[in-house]
């Protein structure tokens, strides 16, 4: 109040500085009154505004509350709907409903591409066909594209887990069919030429073929060229027969079938060696020069500087001719085997004849089956692939029967004094027959090509017989020992047995063992230098060393016991042949173990022989050693001993 009073005072002091100013007091009062009313109205306005604001605020918050309520309601509604939605599968159904039309759309696209592809296939086929028979080389281009397409489809199919089976097989069939068609067209062309020339009846083996013939032949070669080059360059080549040669061989194949695969007597399985093989060899001989003279230059030109240039089956027309003939011969052999199943004696003779036939193809025509490093196994190898066990068993039974027959012969245990001249050890007849038998077994299998097969013959048959014979010799020595030793005699020895040892009987019994063992040892030593056995030993060593090498590098010792690919274990082979197997020992021979065993028998027999002589001497000297009284011998004259003898020698 005091302050206000001060301000009023100041105001009044300011306004009433002079008495004159009091005259204006009314004015002043009215001004104050005006200002107060103005302020009052301002205050009223402010109050009104405040009221208004308060009302608006109230209205606002009410509206907001209403809005919140509204939102809550909405939220609740959404929640409810969400619950409903999540409980239902309406969207999946929708997607599914869309799927089908999409797929149909895809299928339509695919079908379109499909048709395009088929059209391409058809187009390529047409294109290839159009070039024939005029220009086979040109036909190869669309064919090659088609072939490539088929290969690509095949690869894609594999990636797609075997989809589109129909399409792929259709294209493949199309390719194959086209190839057959192309070949057919070209074959027909050559066939027509051959028919016109009346091949082979009217064609002289000395004649020269005409241009048309040669051209047809060449066109067939052209058609086949990629196939041949591909076959020739693969590491494990399979022989492709020349189509042109096939066509020319057809007539002979027919003839062959007529003679050897019919119901004619010449078709009988037993006469395959008498009729069939000679027929083939005659045929080859007859046409050899014809083929060589007429087709060699063409083949040489065609295959020069290609992988096929090194192959006789492509370069040499006669070899190609053989290739074309072989399938029907193979068929005949297979049929023969079927017809004679169980007849092991025939199997044996058939194999021998087959080996001869193979050898003739090899030696006369240098036929090699298109193989580089490996030697051609021939038809024999094909037969042995399935029939080896049967053959081996049959040969084994036969050989062991023969062995037992030998051992049962009357003079088997007699010494053959005529076997060798003086100064030579004589074997028994038995020993000589056993080595003859072994030799004949070698003849049976020495022409077999496969190492494993040869080794089986050696071990299963030859070494088995040698083991048996060795046991027989050892048995003889043991029997001798039991008859002569005091221990043996205690076991009741018959008078006959003892009588047999009288005189030179004991020596004879021992000489039989000595001579027989000696004969076997010498024979085996001789064989160890035989080319066949040397080669077999070399091959065994090479394989054994390879096995050892692999093992030392992989560190797996147990592998060493694995077979060398022949069905007998490594150790077994080593036991049966030579301890030098797999070593670097240059001295080893195939028969080491057997020679050692027989040498042992021979050594024992020799020791026994010396002992027998000593026994004989002891008996003979018995009286001499004990009886004479050397100090009472009558004087027999003055002559020194040697003079007496000398005189008696000159003057008996």
Partner 1 sequence: MTADLAITPELDEPLRVSLVISLPFLNTYGMVSNLLQILQRDLAFLRRALGTAPLRRIWRSALDRLNSMLWTDVLMSARFTSAGAAQFARDINAIVSLVERYLPDVGSGSLAALGEALQLLTLPVKLPEGQEAGLTLKSATDKVFTDNAQAKKVLEEMGLEILSPANARQILQRRVENAE
The β-bridge partners of 428 are: 415
Segment interacting with partner 1 (CB under 8 A) among 26-34, 350-358, 416-424, 548-556: 416-424
Min separation Cβ 269 and partner 1, Å: 51
Is there binding between residue 422 and partner 1 (CB under 8 A)?
Answer: yes
Segment interacting with partner 1 (CB under 8 A) among 173-181, 296-304, 422-430, 556-564: 422-430
Q: Which is nearer to partner 1, 263 or 418 (CB)?
A: 418
108 — phi, psi (to 5°)?
Answer: -65, -45
The β-bridge partners of 605 are: none
Q: Which one of 504, 538, 550, 572 is in contact with partner 1 (CB under 8 A)?
A: 504
Would you give the binding string for partner 1 spanning residues 587-626, x where CB under 8 A is met?
-------------------x--xx--xx-xxx-xx-xxxx
Q: Which is nearer to partner 1, 423 or 555 (CB)?
A: 423
Q: Which one of 23, 53, 111, 645 is in contact with partner 1 (CB under 8 A)?
A: 645
State in Å, rounded, how far the first CA of the chain is from the last one. 203
Is there binding between residue 425 and partner 1 (CB under 8 A)?
Answer: yes
Would you give the binding string for partner 1 spanning residues 517-556, x where CB under 8 A is met?
-x--------------------------------------
Is there binding between residue 426 and partner 1 (CB under 8 A)?
Answer: yes
Segment interacting with partner 1 (CB under 8 A) among 367-375, 457-465, 564-572, 634-642: 634-642
Min separation Cβ 592 and partner 1, Å: 22
DSSP E strands in 304-376: the ranges are none
Contact 445, 454 (CB under 8 A): yes
d(CA 293, CA 334): 33
Is there binding between residue 640 and partner 1 (CB under 8 A)?
Answer: yes
582 — phi, psi (to 5°)?
Answer: 80, -5
The β-bridge partners of 415 are: 428
Q: Which is nearer to partner 1, 86 or 629 (CB)?
A: 629
Q: Which is nearer to partner 1, 250 or 606 (CB)?
A: 606
d(CA 19, CA 602): 182
DSSP E strands in 438-546: the ranges are none
Min separation Cβ 466 and partner 1, Å: 21
Q: Which one of 514, 537, 591, 598 is in contact with partner 1 (CB under 8 A)?
A: 514
Look at phi and psi of residue 565 and say left if phi exceeds 0, alpha if psi is from -120 to 50, else beta.
left
Min separation Cβ 587 and partner 1, Å: 22
Min separation Cβ 433 and partner 1, Å: 18
Min separation Cβ 460 and partner 1, Å: 33
Is there binding between residue 633 and partner 1 (CB under 8 A)?
Answer: yes
Question: Is the bond leading into 373 cis (omega within 30 degrees of zero)?
Answer: no
Structure token pair of residue 223? 């058609």
Is there binding between residue 629 and partner 1 (CB under 8 A)?
Answer: yes
Q: Which is nearer to partner 1, 224 or 484 (CB)?
A: 484
d(CA 369, CA 240): 10
Collapse the DSSP code of 415 into the 3-class scheme (helix H, G, I; strand E, B; otherwise coil) and give the result. Answer: strand
Question: Is the bond leading into 200 cis (omega within 30 degrees of zero)?
Answer: yes
State the helix-helix crossing angle for 463-484 and 505-528, rounded to 10 degrees.
160
Contacts with partner 1 in 50-109 (CB under 8 A)?
none
Q: Which is nearer to partner 1, 201 or 650 (CB)?
A: 650
d(CA 351, CA 366): 20
Q: Which one of 111, 503, 571, 585 is in contact with partner 1 (CB under 8 A)?
A: 503
Q: Which one of 48, 424, 439, 525 is in contact with partner 1 (CB under 8 A)?
A: 424
Q: Which one of 417, 490, 553, 587 is in contact with partner 1 (CB under 8 A)?
A: 417
d(CA 63, CA 68): 9
Contact 595, 525 (CB under 8 A): yes
Is there binding between residue 632 and partner 1 (CB under 8 A)?
Answer: yes
# binding residues, partner 1 (CB under 8 A): 50
The set of residues, in sequence order, having a beta carbon less than 8 Å from that of 564 and lying 6+ positions away, is 452, 455, 540, 543, 544, 547, 570, 573
Min separation Cβ 639 and partner 1, Å: 9
CB count within 10 Å of CB 206 equals 8
d(CA 257, CA 264): 10
- For residue 272, give the nearest of 361, 337, 366 by alpha carbon: 337
Min separation Cβ 580 and partner 1, Å: 26
Q: What is the DSSP string of 588-618?
A: --TTHHHHHHHHHHHHHHHHHHHHHHHHHHH
Q: Which is nearer to partner 1, 60 or 618 (CB)?
A: 618
**What sign does the CA torsion over 529, 531, 537, 541 have?**
positive
Is there binding between residue 507 and partner 1 (CB under 8 A)?
Answer: yes
Footprint of partner 1 (CB under 8 A) = 415, 417, 422-426, 503-504, 507-508, 511, 514-515, 518, 606, 609-610, 613-614, 616-618, 620-621, 623-636, 638, 640-642, 644-646, 648-650, 652
């Amino acid at each position: 109040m005091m302050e206000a009073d001060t301000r009023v005072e100041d105001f009044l002091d300011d306004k009433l500085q002079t008495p004159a100013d009091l005259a204006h007091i009314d004015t002043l009062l009215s001004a104050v009154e005006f200002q107060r009313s103005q302020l009052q109205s301002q205050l009223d306005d402010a109050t009104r505004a405040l009221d208004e604001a308060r009302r608006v605020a109230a209205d606002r918050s009410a509206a907001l509350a209403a809005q919140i309520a509204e939102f809550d309601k909405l939220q609740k509604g959404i929640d409810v709907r969400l619950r409903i939605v999540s409980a239902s599968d309406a969207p999946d159904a929708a997607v599914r409903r869309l799927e089908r039309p999409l797929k149909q759309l895809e299928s339509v696209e695919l079908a379109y591409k499909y048709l395009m592809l088929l059209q391409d296939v058809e187009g390529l086929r047409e294109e290839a066909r159009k070039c024939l028979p005029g220009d086979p080389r040109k036909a190869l281009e669309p064919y090659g594209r088609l072939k490539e397409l088929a290969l690509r489809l095949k690869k894609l199919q594999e990636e797609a887990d075997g989809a589109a089976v129909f399409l792929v097989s259709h294209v493949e069939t199309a390719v194959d069919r086209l190839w057959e068609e192309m070949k057919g067209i070209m074959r027909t062309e050559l066939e027509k030429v051959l028919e016109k020339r009346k091949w082979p009846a009217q064609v002289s083996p000395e004649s020269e073929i005409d241009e048309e013939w040669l051209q047809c032949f060449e066109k067939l070669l052209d058609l086949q060229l990629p196939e041949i080059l591909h076959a020739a360059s693969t590491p494990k080549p399979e022989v492709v027969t020349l189509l042109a040669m096939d066509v020319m061989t057809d007539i002979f194949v027919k003839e062959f079938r007529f003679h050897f695969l019919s119901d004619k007597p010449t078709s009988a399985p037993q006469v395959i060696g008498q009729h069939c093989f000679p027929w083939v060899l005659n045929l080859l001989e007859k046409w050899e020069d014809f083929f060589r003279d007429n087709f060699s230059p063409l083949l040489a030109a065609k295959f020069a500087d290609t992988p096929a240039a090194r192959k006789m089956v492509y370069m040499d027309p006669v070899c190609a001719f053989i290739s074309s003939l072989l399938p029907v011969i193979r068929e005949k052999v297979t049929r023969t085997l079927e017809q004679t199943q169980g007849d092991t004696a025939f199997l044996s003779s058939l194999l021998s004849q087959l080996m001869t036939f193979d050898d003739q193809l090899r030696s006369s025509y240098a036929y090699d089956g298109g193989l580089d490093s490996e030697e051609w196994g021939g038809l024999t190898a094909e037969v042995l692939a399935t029939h080896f066990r049967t053959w081996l068993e049959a040969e084994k039974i036969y050989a062991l029967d023969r062995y037992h027959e030998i051992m049962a012969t009357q003079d088997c245990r007699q010494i053959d004094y005529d076997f060798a001249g003086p100064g030579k050890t004589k074997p028994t007849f038995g020993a000589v027959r056993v080595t003859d038998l072994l030799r004949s077994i070698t003849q049976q299998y020495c022409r077999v090509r496969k190492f494993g097969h040869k080794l089986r013959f050696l071990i299963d048959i030859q070494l088995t017989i040698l083991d048996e014979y060795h046991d027989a010799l050892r048995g003889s020595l043991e029997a001798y020992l039991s008859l002569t030793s005091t221990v043996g005699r205690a076991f009741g020895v018959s008078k006959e047995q003892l009588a047999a040892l009288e005189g030179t009987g004991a020596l004879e019994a021992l000489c039989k063992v000595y001579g027989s063992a000696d004969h076997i040892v010498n024979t085996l030593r001789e064989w160890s230098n035989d080319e066949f056995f040397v080669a077999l030993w070399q091959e065994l060593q090479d394989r054994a060393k390879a096995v050892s090498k692999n093992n030392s590098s992989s560190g797996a010792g147990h592998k060493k016991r694995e077979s060398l690919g022949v069905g007998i274990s490594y150790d077994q082979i080593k036991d049966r042949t030579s301890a030098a197997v797999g070593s670097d020992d240059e001295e080893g021979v195939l028969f080491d173990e057997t020679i050692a065993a027989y040498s042992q028998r021979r050594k024992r027999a020799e020791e026994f022989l010396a002992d027998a002589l000593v026994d004989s001497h002891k008996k003979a000297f018995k009286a001499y050693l004990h009886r004479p009284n050397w100090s009472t011998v009558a004087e027999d004259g003055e002559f020194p001993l040697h003079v007496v003898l000398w005189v008696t020698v000159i003057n008996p």
